[in-house]
């Protein structure tokens, strides 16, 4: 297991302006509780930080660790997934998530995926929409810099190189923009969740009397298709679908 990550003050300036001192103190207390192996207290303190609206991948990661040490694997998986949603490129989160997933009952294999669709999905999930947005802005600003050199430069070779680079950066900026938009669209329309009930039967209809299709155990990842009063139709990575009580899982 990868251990706790240090939370940098600069990462939270924007969201902690009103109560930075209090929140950072709670984070510090949570880190201390974890280091002293007081895992239930660490869980409570990290959860308190999140309840105040301070959402960051590092906090979800640390909360996942605290849940894992508390022997609650489903909640650990849920928070690792939430950390991954915000920072999909983080290797430590991916590593801990694999360790936690190895301890659950259900081993759901992904169904066959077309090569192009699979490549596109993996590419979109390399970075979060926030990271792609930052890349887009950085590329556009650099493009403007080279355009400035093109217009004010005196040496022909420098102007030619600046013109080519500005064009390439403009294209890349547009590409990053549409990638960020696609990534955001996926995060908004493809909700996923983690089963938290010890076991639950997936039904053929949104009713307790519906036909039992298959059984899911805690920690299994599901994808939402649609909701009905108190029920949600979900899909597994292997393509199986069924209805689950809304109380049996938590949204990532």
Per-residue pLDDT reduced to its tens digit, 130-168: 888 999 999 999 999 999 999 998 899 999 999 999 999
Is 245 found in the same domain as 208? yes
Does a structural domain hold residue 83? yes
Is 166 found in the same domain as 97? no
Indicate whether 219 pLDDT > 50. yes
Does a structural domain hold residue 108? no
Rounded to two decimals, the pTM is 0.69
Q: Residue 9: its pLDDT value, please?
A: 41
Does a structural domain hold residue 210? yes
Side-chain-facing half-sphere of 70: CA atoms under 13 Å: 20
Q: Is 172 exposed, middle or buried (0-12, 13-18, 19+ CB in 10 A)?
A: middle
Range of the domain at 228: 192-251
Does a structural domain hold residue 52? yes
Is 81 found in the same domain as 27? yes
The pLDDT tens digits of the residues spanning 104-139 come to 999 987 755 555 655 666 676 678 788 889 999 999
Is 69 found in the same domain as 24? yes
CA-to-CA distance for 112 and 93, rounded, in angstroms? 26
User: Which of 41, 68, 101 is the last residue in one of the domains?
Assistant: 101
- Grouping H, G, I as helix, E, B as strand and the rest as coil, residue 168 is helix
User: Treating both helix axes as pointing N-terminal to C-terminal, what angle do 91-101 and 57-69 enclose, rounded to 10 degrees?
Assistant: 30
User: Which of 168, 189, 210 is the last residue in one of the domains?
Assistant: 189
Q: β-strand 231-235 against 241-245: which pairing, if any?
A: antiparallel
Is 20 found in the same domain as 87? yes
Indicate whether 6 pLDDT > 70. no
Is 91 found in the same domain as 41? yes
Total structural domains in the chain? 3
Is 197 found in the same domain as 183? no
Is 196 found in the same domain as 185? no
CA-to-CA distance for 187 and 176, rounded, in angstroms? 16
* In contact, 241 and 225? CB cutoff 8 Å: yes
Is 91 found in the same domain as 24? yes
Residue 231 β-bridge partners: 228, 245
Does a structural domain hold residue 4? no
Residue 25 is part of a domain; what is its CATH number?
Answer: 1.25.40.10
The pLDDT tens digits of the residues spanning 169-209 come to 999 999 999 888 887 776 665 689 999 999 999 999 999 99
User: Which of 38, 71, 101 is the last residue in one of the domains?
Assistant: 101
Average pLDDT over residues 214-234: 95
Does a structural domain hold residue 2? no
Cα dist from 213 to 69, 162, 229, 238, 241, whole Å: 33, 62, 20, 14, 9
Does a structural domain hold residue 3? no
CA-to-CA distance for 150 and 135, rounded, in angstroms? 22
Is 225 found in the same domain as 168? no
Is 229 found in the same domain as 169? no
Does a structural domain hold residue 223? yes
Residue 235 β-bridge partners: 223, 241
Residue 227 is part of a domain; what is its CATH number?
Answer: 2.30.30.40
**Non-local CB neighbours of 74 within 8 Å, separated by 6+ positions:** 104, 194, 195, 196, 218, 219
Is 48 found in the same domain as 21? yes
């Amino acid at each position: 297991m990868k251990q706790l990550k240090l939370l940098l003050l600069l990462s939270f300036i924007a969201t902690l302006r009103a109560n930075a001192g209090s929140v950072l103190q709670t984070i510090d207390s949570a880190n201390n509780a974890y280091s002293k192996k007081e895992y239930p207290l660490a869980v409570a303190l990290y959860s308190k930080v999140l309840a105040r609206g301070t959402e960051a991948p590092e906090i979800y990661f640390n909360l996942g660790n605290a849940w894992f040490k508390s022997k609650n694997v489903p909640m650990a998986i849920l928070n690792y997934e939430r950390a991954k949603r915000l920072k999909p490129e983080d290797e430590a989160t991916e590593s801990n998530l694999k360790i936690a997933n190895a301890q659950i009952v259900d081993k759901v294999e992904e169904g066959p995926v077309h090569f192009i669709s699979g490549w596109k999905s993996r590419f979109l999930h390399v970075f979060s929409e926030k990271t792609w947005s930052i890349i887009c802005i950085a590329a556009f600003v650099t493009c403007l810099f080279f355009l400035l050199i093109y217009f004010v430069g005196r040496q022909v070779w420098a102007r030619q190189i600046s013109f080519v680079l500005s064009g390439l950066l403009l294209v890349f900026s547009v590409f990053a923009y549409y990638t960020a938009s696609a990534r955001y669209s996926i995060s908004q329309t493809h909700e996923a969740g983690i089963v938290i009930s010890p076991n639950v039967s997936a039904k053929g209809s949104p009713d307790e009397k519906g036909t039992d299709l298959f059984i899911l155990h805690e920690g299994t990842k599901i994808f939402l298709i649609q909701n009905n009063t108190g029920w949600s139709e979900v899909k597994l990575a292997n393509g199986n679908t069924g209805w689950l009580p809304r109380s049996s899982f938590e949204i990532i």
